[in-house]
Chain A
Amino acid sequence: MATPLGLTGPETAKAYAQISAGFAYGLAAIGPGIGIGYLVGQSVQAMARQPEAAGMVRTTMFLGIAFTEALALIGFVVFILLKFA
């Protein structure tokens, strides 16, 4: 059976796992990257406009980063599983 990579047998699954490992992390990093950038940018703006609220904004910012970042980290775990498991 011909496959897109021209591989046959048990090599195929391994090759696809290696390729998709790269895609898994690369694609998973796009969304959270945009999200964290927007989140921190807005937080900096809020802190600059209202410096007395900086403490509260910073706490909320870290919480927001933690939640947004989780998606990228799950992508990283998927990468590890595909690449090495």
Chain B
Amino acid sequence: MLLGLDFPGIDHIVKNRPIFSVGSFHFNKVGLICLIAGGLTLILFAIAGSRHALVPKGVQNVAEAGVDFIESGIVLEVIGESGLGWMPYLTSLFFFIFFCNIMEVIPLFQIPAPARMAIPLVLAMLTWVIFIGVGIKHQGAGYFKEALFPPGVPTALYILVTPIELLSTFIVRPFSLAVRLFANMLAGHILLVTFAVLTEALFRARWFLPISAVTFVAFVAFTAFEILVAVLQAYIFTILTAVYIGGAMHPEH
């Protein structure tokens, strides 16, 4: 009975039926989650920004704590004073990814939007364009010379160093940034699906009923763990974006 457990296929786990379609354009749950996450970020800061209470409470408190965390924990620590101009982008990035991720544990949604590759890929490409743009703005064409031909390396070694730098800075960076968020959220989603399906199957199999209590406790524990992962991944994506922008701003010599 249990060995014949019919585990849902990958299509069943991550593909959603479109809510509505216009021609070949389909709008599904992941699209809805993205819109809601963007809307929540907007509403959060619109409400918090419209109040100027000296002693913050409620929504303003959340927004101020978030901004403070990103300012002192990410921007000042990684980029420094000159990075304060990137605060709005990094703050909205953090909150958007967090709201996308947290949908993983919210009933009825129950899928993190980054579990579809498209969302982290677009965010990573945005970061990619921004850090190259910042590099060109601050160092001109010298940015590419700096990145591809790091100073202090013997000339003969450039045959080896330049292709590696080209690959690691301009290709692997956005790829790993996207894959990190995607794989973490997909793995978490599959983990939760596994325990939910397992608990249900054990509950139905007469003799395994006591074991289903164990898997249910594990399911609850993993849900709590996934909330932690949702915050952590939003933090890591934001801090890596800050590191890349900071690296493009200040040449390393």
Given contacts A56-B77, A80-B10, contact A63 B183 (CB under 8 A): no
Q: Say if the beta carbon of B230 comes within 8 Å of chain A.
A: no
Q: When A62-B235, A63-B243 are in contact, do A70 and B179 touch as well, CB less than 8 Å?
A: yes
Interface of B is mostly: helix
Give CA–CA (A77, B183) in the complex, Å: 7
Contacts of B239 in A (CB 8 A): 59, 62-63, 66
Query: Which residues, 59 to 85 on A, are CB-close (under 8 Å) to B?
Result: 59, 62-63, 65-66, 69-70, 73-74, 76-77, 80, 83-84
Residues of A near B11 (CB, < 8 A) are: 84
- Residues of A near B73 (CB, < 8 A) are 55, 59
User: Which residues on the A side are within 8 Å of B184 (C-beta)?
Assistant: 73
Q: Mark B148-181, 1 if CB is under 8 A from A, else 0.
A: 0000000000000000000000000000100110
Interface size grouping (class) on chain B: 20 to 34
- What's the nearest-Cβ distance from chain B to residue A26, in Å? 14
A56: chain B residues at CB < 8 Å are 77
Contact check, A59 vs B179: say whether CB atoms are below 8 A apart: no
- Report chain A residues within 8 Å CB of B77: 55-56, 59
Chain A residues near B232 (CB-CB < 8 A): 62
Interface size on A, residues (CB 8 A): 16
Q: Which residue of B lies closest to A83 (CB)?
A: B10
Q: Which residue of B is nearest A66, CB measured?
A: B236
Chain A residues whose CB sits within 8 angstroms of the CB of B220 once the complex forms: none
Which chain A residue shows the least CB distance to B235? Answer: A62
Contacts of A83 in B (CB 8 A): 10
Give the distance in Å from the alpha carbon of A41 to the alpha carbon of B38 in the complex: 38
Tell me if B187 and A70 are in contact (CB < 8 A): no
Q: B179 near A74 (CB under 8 angstroms)?
A: yes
- Residues B179 and A77 in contact, CB atoms below 8 Å apart: yes
| Chain B residues within 8 Å of A73, by CB | 179-180, 183-184, 187
Contact call B180/A69, Cβ cutoff below 8 A: yes
Are A84 and B183 in contact, with the CB atoms below 8 A?
no
CB of B186 closer than 8 Å to a CB of A = yes
17 extra A-B contacts, CB within 8 A, seeds A59-B239, A77-B183? A56-B77, A59-B77, A62-B236, A63-B240, A65-B236, A66-B239, A66-B240, A70-B180, A73-B183, A74-B176, A74-B179, A74-B183, A76-B183, A77-B179, A80-B10, A83-B10, A84-B9
Residues of B within 8 A of A (CB): 9-11, 73, 77-78, 176, 179-180, 182-184, 186-187, 232, 235-236, 239-240, 243
